[in-house]
Amino acid sequence: PDRQTGEDGGPGTGTEDESSEFGQLASVPHGPRLGIGMDSCVIPLRHGGLSLIQTTDFFYPLVEDPYMMGRIACANVLSDLYAMGITECDNMLMLLSVSQKMNDKEREQVMPLMMKGFRDAAEEGGTSVTGGQTVINPWIIIGGVATVVCQPSDFIMPDGAIPGDVLVLTKPLGTQVAVNAHQWLDNPEKWNKIKLVISKDEVEHAYQEAMLNMATLNRTAAALMHKFNAHAATDITGFGIIGHARNLAKQQRNDVAFVIHNLPIISKMAAVSKAGGNLFGLLQGTSSETSGGLLICLPREQAARFCAEMKASRASASCARAQEGTAGDGQQAWIIGIVEKGTRCARIIDKPRIIEVPYRGAVAATQEGNSHGASPPEAQAALA
């Protein structure tokens, strides 16, 4: 099948329904309630002032490495909790579909690696996978369910943005373009459209950068949302940055509008998008992302410090992980826009500033010596 971020894929990267017409933000005697329309459901429980927060998501393979695909799928599920400032997950379930088109050898190579990647990412997030469901299907599918029971002080409802806030993004855009450009290396007709603006080595680096970003947990950003008094947030996935910004704006209690001035994009992907004929609408904010960053509404006076701490956490974690022989977490953040008085809408200015985000090295290189390293070539070929 077409990969979820593929040229012919739909606008979404999973099963989440963030159509704002179904969004529900309400306050009930037992605590706040959040229904269909945002990243997670919030259900007040009958006892002790606690709330159940839960989310689910799944999608098709979009990278060739089964292990990394498992990590990305888990990071994508957990991101819905992180978008509400939740840093702890009590339990995860794994949803897995085994393709009936794979032979026994391919299944034995690919599926255990995907499951291991998912479990490893869950462990990194401080939780574990205790069950799930496996089925036979025409296509490979992987996803999961994340659940936590917590107090109201543990999460941030996505409805408190006020005029004067600024918008912060914690991962660069361009994963859909990077994944497709990598596929086009084997398609001369499509490669000819972009070869004048990017080399094959740069395509490979962009692809590795996209994988690293998608596999990175948004947990650090979730913790900093509390420290710096975030007013609302969502994660950027299948509807692109403008789609998710509009959905978040419609959930606000105050009359606000989000205006995006800057677009941090994986290096060279803006040029590739232009060369490909406005490929996927990247510069218009409609290009799908998978396991993207958090879009956070922060008080203006707190935003720069938030970004600085994200960068500091990236440096310290990368140093520690380098000593352990594991991949760095790649935390980043940029101020990309403002919150002004308006009619609960969002827009990108006509000529946004493109921030070229440099590559940080290939995943395979950063994982040398890591027991959780990239999948062997034969397993990647089976998933391709």
Judged against a pLDDT cut of 70, whether residue 112 lies above it is answered with yes
Rounded to an integer, the average pLDDT of 253-279 is: 97
- Look over the chain and give the mean of its residue pLDDT values, rounded to a whole number: 86
Q: What's residue 382's pLDDT?
A: 67
- Mean pLDDT of all residues in 220-242: 97
Q: Which of 381, 360, 333 minimizes the C-alpha distance to 102?
A: 381
Quick one: average pLDDT of 261-272?
98
Confidence of residue 373 (pLDDT cuts 50, 70, 90): low
48 pLDDT band (50/70/90 cuts)? confident
Which of 174-183, 219-228, 367-376 is predicted with the least confidence, judged by mean pLDDT? 367-376
Q: Is residue 376 scored above 80 in pLDDT?
A: no
Over 80: is that where the pLDDT of 128 sits?
A: yes
Kindly state the average pLDDT of the residues 271-297.
96
8-32 pLDDT tens trace: 333 333 434 443 333 444 444 456 6
Q: What is the mean pLDDT of residues 76-100?
A: 97
> Residue 298: its pLDDT value, please?
98
Position 39 scores a pLDDT of: 76
How large is the average pLDDT for residues 225-240? 97
Average pLDDT rounded to a whole number, residues 42-55: 91
Average confidence (pLDDT) over 358-370: 54
Does pLDDT of 7 surpass 50? no
Interval 130-173: pLDDT, tens: 999 999 999 999 999 999 999 999 999 999 999 999 999 999 99
What mean pLDDT is predicted for residues 331-347? 97
pLDDT of 344 over the 90 cut: yes
What is the reported pLDDT for 28? 43
Question: What does pTM read for this prediction?
Answer: 0.86
pLDDT tens digits, 306-320: 999 999 986 655 555
- Quick one: pLDDT band at residue 40, thresholds 50, 70, 90? confident
pLDDT of residue 363: 45
Average pLDDT, stretch 343-356?
A: 98
Higher pLDDT among residues 7 and 217, named by residue = 217
Per-residue confidence band for 4, with pLDDT thresholds at 50, 70 and 90: very low
pLDDT at 313: 82
Mean pLDDT value across residues 62-69? 96
Burial (0-12, 13-18, 19+ Cβ within 10 Å), 47 = exposed
Mean per-residue pLDDT, 322-333 = 58
- Nearest-angstrom CA–CA distance, 265 and 268: 8
